Structure 1
Amino acid sequence: MPVYKTLHPNSQTTVKIWKITESYNELFQAVKLKPESLSRVLGMKSELHQRGFLSVRHLLAALGYTDFDLYYDENGKPHLVDGKQISITHSFTFSAVIISDNKTGIDIEKNREKIKLIAHKFSNYEFCYLCENEIDYVKKLTVIWGAKEALYKLYATPGLSFYNHILVIPFELSAGETVAWIDYKDNKSRFEIYF
């Protein structure tokens, strides 16, 4: 499938989302990969991960880039050769890329009940305003996880903890946005979160 959705959160930022309906072979045949990317995709044990990886390369093409324009630093954070900021995500049958003039992060998550089982591992402050009995509990946990994952990708610093260092301020799902803070090693940074 071609690009599923394009979003422009602001004039400096573009998000493209791909719904992965193609087979591995269909995705693979339509992209050119540098040797390290080819090695990486061939080494993946899961075809779902391979398809996610390849669909991201299709999104890059839709944004005017190729696999050769993308590189990763020592912490695994992706970068573009032209200096634009990039973040990448894929989960199940969706992938997404965000490109911006500003530091950015992105995450896609599927709403699943099992997030309740791990909430205590990534939520700390957030339990002050969450109520396990509320109807949107799973959706709110999913937003919190996605926000923290996106910020983790943006910050890309070893030792940063979802539980200890990233706080998501109370929000309403209908608002589609909130604020989060990273409080790490005497640095406090505020971030706008859109979901």
Structure 2
Amino acid sequence: MPLYKTITPNSQTTVKIWKITERYEALLQPLTLRAESMKRVVGMKSELHQRGFLSVRHLLAEFGYTDADLYYDENGKPHLKDGKFISITHSFTFSGVIVSDSVVGIDIEKQRQKIAVIAHKFIGYEFDYLVTTAEDYINKLTVIWCIKESLYKLFATPGMLFREHFLVIPFMLKDEETIAWIDYEDRKHRYETRFFEFEGFTCAYVC
């Protein structure tokens, strides 16, 4: 399937999402990959991960980039050679890329009941305002996880913890936006976050 969704939150930022319906061979055939990238994708044990990796390269092409335009730093954070900021995500049958003139982060997660089992590991302050109805609870947990994962990708600093260092301000699912804070080593950073739900998945991105 071609591009699933394009969002332009502001004039300097674009989000693109791909629905992965193609098989591995169909995704690979039109791409030109660096030897390093080819080695990486061939070494993946799961075809689901292979397809996610390749779909991200198709999203890069939608932005006008190739695999050779992307590189990763020592913390695993992706960068573009032209100096624009990028963040990447994929989950099961969806992948997403955000590109901006300023630092950004993005995450997509499938909405699943089992997130409640690990909630205590990434939720602290947020427990105070979460509704306890089952559907809203799981969906709001997923939003919070996606926002915190996006913040982690954006800040890319080893030692940061979701529960202790990231705060998500109360929100309603219908609002599709909220404020989040990073509180780390006596420094506070405020970020605008947006989120939306689709086909049993949640996507959040941070600018």
TM range (shorter): over 0.9
SS at match of 2:170: coil
Partner of 1:163: 163
Superimposed CA distance per residue, residues 168-190 of structure 1 (whole angstroms, 9 cap, x where no aligned partner): 01001111000000011111100
Q: TM-score when scaled to structure 1?
A: 0.98
Partner of 1:32: 32
Relative to structure 2, which stretch is displaced further, 131-140 or 121-130?
A: 131-140
1:12 aligns with 2:12: yes
Question: Distance in 1 between the 2:142 and 2:191 partners?
Answer: 18
Superimposed CA distance per residue, residues 129-161 of structure 1 (whole angstroms, 9 cap, x where no aligned partner): 113335411110000000000000000000011
Question: Distance in 2 between the 1:186 and 1:67 partners?
Answer: 38
Relative to structure 2, which stretch is displaced further, 128-137 or 39-48?
A: 128-137
Question: Distance in 2 between the 1:5 and 1:131 partners?
Answer: 30
Within 5 A, what are the aligned runs for 1:180-191?
A: 180-191=180-191
Partner of 2:152: 152
Partner of 1:103: 103
Whichever structure has more strand as a proportion of its residues is 2
Structure 1 residues 135 and 4: alpha-carbon distance in aligned structure 2, compared to 1, 3 A threshold: closer
SS at match of 1:107: strand
SS at match of 1:106: strand
Q: TM-score when scaled to structure 2?
A: 0.92
Structure 1 residues without counterparts, runs of 5 or longer: none
Structure 2 residues without counterparts, runs of 5 or longer: 196-207
- Aligned amino acid, residue 109 of structure 2: E
Question: Distance in 2 between the 1:126 and 1:8 partners?
Answer: 28
Aligned length: 195
Partner of 1:122: 122
Within 5 A, what are the aligned runs for 1:33-72?
A: 33-72=33-72
- Aligned amino acid, residue 113 of structure 2: E
Partner of 1:142: 142
Residue identity over aligned pairs, in percent, reads: 70
Relative to structure 2, which stretch is displaced further, 73-82 or 178-187?
A: 178-187
Question: Distance in 1 between the 2:139 and 2:55 partners?
Answer: 26
SS at match of 2:118: helix
- Aligned amino acid, residue 13 of structure 2: T
Partner of 1:175: 175
Relative to structure 2, which stretch is displaced further, 139-148 or 110-119?
A: 110-119
- Aligned amino acid, residue 62 of structure 2: A
Question: Distance in 1 between the 2:135 and 2:78 partners?
Answer: 37
Q: Give 4+ residue runs of structure 1 displaced > 4 Å after superposition.
A: none
Question: Distance in 1 between the 2:138 and 2:148 partners?
Answer: 15
